[in-house]
Structure 1
Amino acid sequence: MGTSKRFDRYMAHLALGLGHADRHAGLKGYCTGLMLPLARKSVEPMAARVDPLHASARHQALHHFVAKAEWSDAEVLRRVCQWVVPHMDFSRGGWWIIDDTGFPKKGVHSVGVARQYCGMLGKQDNCQVAVSVSLACDQGSIPVAWQLYLPENWAQDPTRRKRAGVPESLRFATKTQIALQQLQTLLSEGAPRHCVLADAGYGVDTGFRQSLSDMGLLYAVGVTSAVVVWPPGVEPLPPAPYGGMGRPPVVPRRTAELQPMSVKALALSLPAQAFQTISWRQGTNEPLSGRFAAVRVRHAGGNAGKSRLRPQEWLLIEWPADQAEPVKYILSTLPASISLNDLVSAAYQRWRIERDYQDLKQDFGLGHYEGRGWRGFHHHASLSIAAYAFLMAERLIADKPVGGKKNFAERQVPALPEDYIPRGSPARPATRDPFDHDAAAPTQLRTARPPRPMSLLRPRKQKTTLVTQ
């Protein structure tokens, strides 16, 4: 079966989750537009390219489909998983990767826009931020949950909420709370308990790590250099004896000799022979490697070290030979028997979500949505992920990059007529947000063996089930 026929079948599979047959054309037209080599993948230029002879009518139809139609983003992403997951090989393990990404914006009316940290810019600026969870294996990864972070000033403003169509049931939640809820939902639907990866923005939160453990999930998450631990070989004294009044003591006792220390101080105290050079994956031109050490520690709570005694876990330290001090710290509950090579390899799988964001923004228009509403923002993201997922599945099927990322879609649509005048010309002005198009190489998804057949995610009846091997 050719790629074009598989694309038609994929569209038909996703369309079953839209609720109404009249939305099928909008789905195929929108996804096709997202896969075309357009500089701007907002509704109007996609409509003009997909149906140039009826650009105005198609623009209205696609705009209604993405901004107004009441279809479920969660159901579409579930069906995306059903299509892609059977081609992913989890024989060497899987990972849940948590991260967030920002979209620079001007003005104050787009839903969730506020002055906050934007990873795309590397600084505080006016932007929207979305939290996602991706499912990953050695071959690649795909976002399976996506939600806009709604800042507190937005969450408490009923006028702006109503104007942007924010669901009435939605309340303010931190990014870590959003991520935990996304994971909890996935697990309740039968998702496997893979190891969770996240950067220090999430990992430094003690409650976040404890919640992962409470859900039965292993983790390898970044922390800052100020996090305090009980170093190897140092065990605090048990809590003071209970005196019979008030709550029983739970904080381990310390003495002048028994003190916790920051992970930075611990790293600086390690001998040079504790560090090894480990190569964790093949880069574009050469293997990527670093200088690492791993020790067993107990987290000691806040900077004051006042917390109940916690189980031992790994502290993974990266300290390049040309740096004056370590550059990265990771706490992990992966098994105590794991080798340093495997620990580094697992913890550094988080690079995949950065590549997902890069490709989604550059090639699939993730940041190009020009509407202001909650529904349109999430619909556009779900469709961008759907388009990205199809190309990922094609690479996995072929076990190599598909020649010409979007050529198959491009061949199905006519070229623009010579007399076409896009909206936004001086005759018909329209506002546009600036877009910084960062160049990036296409994702190379490789595997040492052909993908094994995987259990297909079954259609929803009473309870959704997510099954992988």
Structure 2
Amino acid sequence: METERDIEMWTGWFEDFFAMLASLFVRVEPRLTARAYLKALLGTVERKNSWQIAAYVGHVTPDRVKCLLRTTVWSANGLRDRVRAFVVEYLGDPDAVLVLDETAFLKKGTKSAGVAPQYAGITGQTENCQVAVFLAYATSYGRAFIDFALYLGKSWAGDIARCKEAGVPAERRKAVVTKPELGRRLVERARTAGVPFAWVAADSVYGQDRKLRAGLERHGKGYVMAVPCDETVDAGWMGSMRVDLLVPKLPLVFERRSCGNGAKGERYYDWALAEVAWPSDAGCARPGWQHLLLVRRSIADPTELAYFAVHARPGTTLTALVQVAGLRWSIEDCFETAKSDCGLDQYEVRKWEPWHRHIALAIAAFAFVSISATRTARMSQPHEAAGQPDLDVPAIAWPPLAVHPSLNA
């Protein structure tokens, strides 16, 4: 039950948050519209599209809301950068994990930038949808999105007229930029911006990308990324072979560990480690680092195995690696909350720039509610010793993300 003090506190936090963003909108009118748009994304609007947002903020027509997304001069990239800075300010941790994943936005028609029949993880089958790659920042204190990129598949690349109609920038019109390449760009953008992190976690779409692994190794970053069963690995005297063929030959010792909370409670699996050499453009592991194969085995069905490429410092515990692997699923919680509570997928725009503007505003709203929930939870915890905890002992449980009543008016 929220108190008046809670409401006043969150209201003040929101005003401070928007003050950090306000200068992106040079004129007063779009600045006020952007502020109202964010409050609507955080509010009780049933469907967070232009019409309902306009009605929520008291506009007779959606014209000003549409202009904010379509014609007003402001930078979605600039907003993204300030959201990233905000997230790092409150969650920044040298032991943080960057999590790469993608999500689909189901659509009708053929005009929306990037829309095509393609695999949609939210349904597990091929759908007419847009797909975007996201980068989340995860620590033991909380998590939020810090970057994103829209994927354009084969049906778009090279179709100059179609891309031009959808407002796709010239540099993205000619050739397909793969999802792994988009992922590399997001991670590199975070690194060059000075975002503190120690690990990257991802599924096999990105884990099998040897260029991504090599880049992380060159810059002294660890990773725990899933790889497909046919990924090859160098197993010393046994030579190079597929991981699914190698594992039965190894004297693995499995240990039961939880990789975090799921919808049904703690997610327990059996886990084992083996020393290997992962092929990458960076060559052999550098001094002070090692390559490992992490194997996850289902308790219910021991024949069900998953494989992870690991780059870590010697002495890193199995528990720490399992928790990094488990944080990959945290981005699914982020997607779910950002869609249900912050309107991430509730836009009605088709062109490139309006899509990026809505998504930037939605991840800003999510960052605010996520960090505000974390700040509130921290205030209820006993005073902690100085310094950030490691991943083995989270400081607090990840709080449920809910929209605060103070933002409903």
TM range, normalised to the smaller chain?
Answer: 0.7 to 0.9
d(CA) in 2 for partners of 1:179 and 1:83?
21
Picking from 378, 403, 406, the partner of 1:405 is 403
Native 8 Å contact 2:234 2:278 kept in 1: yes
Q: Which amino acid counterpart does residue 182 of structure 1 have in structure 2?
A: L
Residue in 1 that maps onto 2:88:
85
Residue in 2 that maps onto 1:32:
39
Native 8 Å contact 2:87 2:371 kept in 1: yes
Bigger radius of gyration: 1
Picking from 276, 285, 297, the partner of 1:297 is 276
TM-superposed CA distance for 1:218, in Å, is: 1.9
TM-superposed CA distance for 1:386, in Å, is: 0.9
Residue in 2 that maps onto 1:124:
126
* TM-score where L is the length of structure 2: 0.85
In the alignment, does 2:301 pair up with 1:323?
Answer: yes
Q: CA RMSD in A?
A: 2.3
Residue in 2 that maps onto 1:395:
373
TM-superposed CA distance for 1:310, in Å, is: 3.6
Deviation string 1:307-345 (CA, Å, 9 cap, x unpaired) is 997435111001123314243110110112111111111
Which segment drifts farther, 177-186 or 14-23? 14-23
In the alignment, does 2:383 pair up with 1:384?
Answer: no
Q: Structure 1: state its 5+ residue gaps.
A: 236-257, 302-306, 413-469
d(CA) in 1 for partners of 2:256 and 2:81?
40
In the alignment, does 2:55 pair up with 1:48?
Answer: yes
| Distance change in 2, residues 1:210/1:41 (3 Å) | same
Native 8 Å contact 2:91 2:139 kept in 1: yes
Picking from 213, 218, 240, the partner of 1:214 is 218
Q: How many residues align?
A: 376
In the alignment, does 2:249 pair up with 1:269?
Answer: yes
Residue in 1 that maps onto 2:209:
205
TM-superposed CA distance for 1:377, in Å, is: 0.7
TM-superposed CA distance for 1:141, in Å, is: 1.4
d(CA) in 2 for partners of 1:308 and 1:285?
40
Native 8 Å contact 1:223 1:331 kept in 2: yes
d(CA) in 1 for partners of 2:90 and 2:57?
29
Secondary structure at 2:276 match in 1: strand
Picking from 330, 351, 354, the partner of 1:352 is 330
d(CA) in 2 for partners of 1:261 and 1:99?
27
Q: Structure 2: state its 5+ residue gaps.
A: 1-7, 379-398
Native 8 Å contact 2:98 2:137 kept in 1: yes
d(CA) in 1 for partners of 2:123 and 2:264?
26
d(CA) in 1 for partners of 2:325 and 2:118?
27
Secondary structure at 1:287 match in 2: strand
TM-superposed CA distance for 1:213, in Å, is: 2.1
TM-superposed CA distance for 1:89, in Å, is: 5.8
Q: Which amino acid counterpart does residue 150 of structure 2 have in structure 1?
A: L
d(CA) in 2 for partners of 1:15 and 1:388?
17
Residue in 1 that maps onto 2:199:
195
Picking from 252, 266, 273, the partner of 1:287 is 266
Alignment of 1:68-107 (within 5 A): 68-88=71-91, 90=93, 93-107=95-109
Secondary structure at 1:69 match in 2: coil
Residue in 1 that maps onto 2:240:
260
Which segment drifts farther, 114-123 or 213-222? 213-222
* TM-score where L is the length of structure 1: 0.75
d(CA) in 1 for partners of 2:25 and 2:258?
45
d(CA) in 2 for partners of 1:144 and 1:89?
12
Native 8 Å contact 1:11 1:27 kept in 2: no
Identity percentage over the alignment?
29
Native 8 Å contact 1:89 1:138 kept in 2: no
Native 8 Å contact 1:68 1:375 kept in 2: no
Residue in 2 that maps onto 1:14:
21
In the alignment, does 2:152 pair up with 1:112?
Answer: no
TM-superposed CA distance for 1:69, in Å, is: 2.0
